[in-house]
Every structure is written in structure tokens, then in C-alpha cells.
Amino acid sequence: MRSGRGSALQLSLGWKSSSARRGMFAPVDRTVLLITYLLLLIGLIMVFSASGVMAESRYGDSMFFLKRQAAWIVLGLLALHWVSRQDYDMWKSMTPIVLCLTIGCMVLVLIPSVGAEVNGARRWFRIAGLSFQPGELAKLSVVLYLASFLVRREDEISSFSRGVLAPVIVVGGLAGLALLEPDMGTAVVLVSILFGLLFLGGARLTHLGGLILSALPVAYLLIMESDYRRRRLMSFLDPWQDPHDAGFQLTQSFVALGNGGLAGVGLGDGRQKLFFLPEAHSDFVLALVGEELGFLGTGLLMVLFAVLLVQGFRIAGRAPDAFGRHLASGVTLLLGIQVLINAGVVSGLLPTKGLTLPLVSYGGSSLVITLVAIGILLSISREDSGHRVV
């Protein structure tokens, strides 16, 4: 009788059981899907504009990076649409597997005979001419882990030992592995997601503030004990002091943004991509957007990201359960943190870090992982739409 009354009450309130709602999926959030496609299209155009001359010089094919980016987009979109059709509850049971796989990959990539070294950093696996960066998988793994943890410890999150310490150890360990590569950008993103989700999950501000204060000396030592990090910090504080070496990338980004002015020099007519601005097709693609499309084009791009993030938090707010809420919030934070850091680096507001602009920059593993994350967000929006009676 109690079970029957509970079911009747559930239906009268407009809620359906988990088994019933799985068969009643509504369309995904069209705003998120449309903006994702627009950003991918903009990225494809800008990658070709940024890399055409370099690709012709280096590989004898001006469309070398364009074709690779298009292939990654197709693969990523297939993954996005498949993931968006799955019940997001499946990620609860898959989280330990994904987390263990991530830790294994982060360790293996540090082994000289396994991981590929590029510019002094060992961050990639090279298989059959393709590259995979386990640090990108770590970002999604942290979101999955924290969402699962917050659901299990929802009533203990105000306790430091039972609700905060464990995720700090796990995410701190992954961030430490990223620093060994070295990849401080990924470490910063992982720690930022940790603090963001703990804050949204209800952790005490005193605990979070204490962790931040205790992390400052560690961050100081990591920067000052590393020659290249120290030089990056000095060049960030005064890039024009050494514009031909440590400050070269940032000063060239300033030149690109300055050349663009209000409306830009025109698509394809940018000059900084002609072997002046390093990584113009990846980490600093936003600088090229500023040069060729100007402040207006850059502003429109940022508006698209802003709408995507607002919609992501709306999906989190309407999620049918705590796991969906934490998961959607984590995915949205993952996107937003990377956008803010990339834009901050390009504009000189933050020290230079090797982070791509989601969906726009050239990159295989980063692009596919981002699209998988958006697929998870869409699956939450789809189930939410079918879960409530409007």
C-alpha cells in the first residue's frame, strides 16, 4: 500500500520513475546544440585561416590542419550524439573505470619509451600518426568523480575530513601528475573545477579559503623553482622587457589584437599568422580572431560562449536529481574555466598557459573530450525535458 501511494503521489506531482522516464526522452536543448555547431564552424574557418600558410610551408598542403580538424569534428560529433542519447546515470557506474584509466594514462605518459616529448613536455601518446593527451581525459574524469562523490557525501560536505579531504587528495594527485609532464594549465583547470564544484556542492567557505591559502606557497615554489615558469611570469608582468624571447608570444598577441581594431582587417588577411604569432591555430586562435574579425567578431564569439554557459547552468538547475545537477554544473565549469583562462592569456590578463579555446582551437583529444562533455550536458537536458510535465 505504501509503495502504491508513493507511486500515485509521484505521478500526481508530475514526476515519473527512473525506468519510465528512460523511454520518454524529449529533444535535446537546441540552444546548446546550435551554439556548439556555430562554434565548431567558426573554429574550422579560423583554423584554416591561421594554419594555411604554415601548413603549406611545413607539409606542402595548405589544408593539412583543416582536414585533420574536420576529421576530429566528425568523430567528436558522433560521440556527442551517441552520449546525448544515453541515460546519464550510466556515468555513475563508469566513473571508477574512467578515473582508473585516467590515472593509468597520466602515469604511462611520463615514461620516456611510452609518452611522446614535444618542446620539453611529455604530455602525449603518439599512435599511428595520431596524438592523444591524457590530460584532456583527466578534466572530464574529475567532473565525473566529483559529481559522483558529491551525491554520495551530500550530507557530509560541510565536514572537512569526510566531505572535502578525499576529493582534494584525488584531484590533487591528478594535478600533481599533470605538473610532472609538465602541464600547469591542465593542473590549474583541475584544481579550479575542484573548488568550483565543492563550492556549488555546499562546502564551507572557511574550508575552501584555508585550502587556497595553503596552496599559495606551493604555487609560489612551483613557479620560482622552475626557470621557464619564472620567465613566463616575468614576461607576463612586463612582456615588452623581452619581446623577442620570453615575451614574444604575448607581444605578438597584443599586436594581433591591436591590428584588428573594431572590425578587423578581414577574414584571411591577418598578418600575425605569417610565422609571427606562435600557436596561432591552437592556443592563440583568439588573437587571430581579434585581428581578422576585430573587437566585434571577438565580442560575438564571447557572447556565444556566455550563452552556452548560462544555458549549461540552467540545465543544471532543472536537472531531475542531484547527480544530474552536479554533472551539468561540472561540465559547464569545465567549459567556462577554459574559456576564461584562454581569453585571459591571449589578452595578457593571465600568465601564458598551454590551453586551447574549447570548440574553436585546433586539437584532437581536447575537441573530442569537449564534445563528449557537451553530449553529457545534452543527455541531462533531454532527460529533464521528458521527466517533468510542463
Q: Does pLDDT of 387 surpass 60?
A: no
Of 116 and 198, the structure prediction assigns the larger pLDDT to: 198
Return phi, psi of residue 282, to 5°.
-125, -95
**Residue 118, SS3?**
strand
Query: For 13-22, 81-90, 247-256, 278-287, which range has the lowest pLDDT when averaged over its residues?
Result: 13-22
- Can you state the percent helix, strand and coil of the chain, rounding each to 5? 70, 5, 25
pLDDT in tens, 141-163: 999 999 999 999 888 898 888 88
| Element containing residue 50 per DSSP (H, E) | helix 30-59
Of 385 and 29, the structure prediction assigns the larger pLDDT to: 29
Query: For 205-219, 228-242, 249-263, which range has the lowest pLDDT when averaged over its residues?
Result: 228-242
**Cell 564569439 appears where?**
301
pLDDT in tens, 163-185: 899 999 999 999 999 999 888 88
Query: For 124-128, 303-307, 360-364, which range has the lowest pLDDT when averaged over its residues?
Result: 124-128
Task: Count Cβ neighbours within 10 Å for each residue of 328-350 and write b for 16 or more, e otherwise.
Answer: bbbbbbbbbbbbbbbbebbbbeb
- Cα–Cα distance measured from residue 270 to residue 282, given in angstroms and rounded to the nearest whole number: 16
Q: Does pLDDT of 115 surpass 90?
A: no
pLDDT in tens, 73-83: 999 999 999 99
Tell me, what's the pLDDT at 1? 36
- Cα–Cα distance measured from residue 124 to residue 114, given in angstroms and rounded to the nearest whole number: 9
Tell me, what's the pLDDT at 213? 92
Mean pLDDT of the chain: 86
